[in-house]
């Protein structure tokens, strides 16, 4: 998960660079889906595994939530806002996941979790509101809202595919989800990919595209299920802190953005909220404590 979030943090600035005239958001999304499908299907030749028919529906839903909707909203949002704004909003993912888990799988929300949600949400809302008043022109309300929608979509994906993640290997899951995503999105991205003038790409553009396809698509989506299998959700969520740190350093270093007081306050609120949520007790913790108290009696 550390590697995943370092790559995602770098991808904030790398994708922003590619979207500045080199590629369209739709074209970049299409290339990621197609590359992921080909790469995971090649890998699956060495790790064959059958899928039960009843699970294909969940895989399709996972592809639409975790890949198509998530990536489209993220890339479209990144094209309209700054890398730092996008990275800060992405740290709200654990908070959104916690809320959805409470609703869908009955994970209890303690007062500590509620405090974390309110704190983190205030940071995200403050960032969205102040984006309307940015003078640099690098941020936008529409872009921030699209990135926030991307987080909601991925949170749904984490909850929906939780059981399948324990049942199948990452390669098996991803080969089908990327295939479904490619089929669903190909009609929309074909024209953009076909019209892309690859012959005019500079060595820098090729290297950036290679990073997005390999280090920000194939490797992370291979490692995310591995991390989810071995780590508690609270531990996984803590690694999201890496994204804004990496994205901020790169964005400022490359001159793509500036880190001012507004972003600092918003980031502090979101980080504090996520930290409080990750420190709260899960349903398993509460049930374990209850059993322990009964045994003492």
Span 161-206, pLDDT tens digits: 878 888 899 999 999 999 999 999 988 889 999 988 888 889 999 9
**Predicted confidence band of residue 61 (pLDDT cuts 50, 70, 90):** very high
| Chain position carrying tokens 């590629």 | 23
Give the global pTM: 0.77
CA distance 126 to 222: 34
CA distance 188 to 204: 27
**Predicted confidence band of residue 232 (pLDDT cuts 50, 70, 90):** low
pLDDT of res. 225: 86
Average pLDDT value for residue range 201-227? 92
| CA angle in degrees (0–180, nearest 5) for 216-221-222 | 115
Domain regions of the chain by residue span = 2-296
The runs of H, that is alpha helices, within the chain are: 2-18, 25-44, 56-62, 70-80, 83-90, 93-104, 111-130, 141-160, 162-167, 170-195, 203-210, 219-230, 233-238, 242-253, 261-279, 283-296
User: With 90 as the cut, is the pLDDT of residue 138 above it?
Assistant: no
Share of the chain above pLDDT 70, in %: 80
Number of residues written out for the chain: 297
């Amino acid at each position: 998960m550390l590697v995943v979030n370092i790559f995602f943090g770098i991808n904030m600035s790398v994708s922003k660079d590619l979207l500045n005239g080199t590629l369209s958001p739709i074209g970049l999304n299409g290339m990621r889906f197609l590359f992921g499908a080909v790469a995971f299907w090649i890998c699956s030749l060495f790790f064959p595994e059958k899928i039960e028919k009843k699970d294909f529906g969940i895989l399709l839903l996972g592809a639409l939530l975790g890949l198509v909707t998530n990536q489209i909203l993220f890339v479209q949002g990144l094209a309209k806002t700054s890398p730092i704004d996008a990275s800060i909003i992405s740290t709200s993912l654990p908070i959104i996941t916690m809320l959805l888990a409470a609703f869908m799988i009955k994970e209890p929300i303690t007062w500590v979790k509620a405090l974390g949600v309110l704190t983190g949400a205030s940071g995200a809302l403050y960032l969205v509101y102040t984006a309307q008043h940015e003078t640099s022109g690098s941020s936008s309300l529409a872009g921030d809202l699209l990135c926030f929608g991307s987080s909601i979509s991925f949170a749904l994906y984490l909850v929906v595919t939780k059981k399948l993640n324990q049942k199948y290997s990452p390669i098996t899951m991803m080969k089908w989800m990327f295939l479904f995503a490619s089929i669903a999105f190909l009609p929309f991205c074909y024209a953009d990919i076909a019209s892309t003038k690859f012959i005019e790409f500079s060595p820098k553009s090729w290297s950036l595209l290679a990073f997005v396809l390999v280090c920000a698509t194939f490797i992370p989506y291979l490692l995310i299920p591995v991390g989810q299998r071995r780590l508690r959700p609270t531990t996984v969520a803590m690694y999201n802190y890496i994204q804004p740190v990496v994205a901020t350093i790169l964005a400022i270093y490359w001159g793509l953005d500036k880190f001012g007081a507004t972003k600092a306050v918003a980031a502090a609120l979101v980080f504090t909220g996520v930290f409080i949520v990750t420190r709260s007790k899960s349903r398993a913790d509460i049930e374990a404590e209850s059993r322990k108290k009964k045994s003492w009696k």
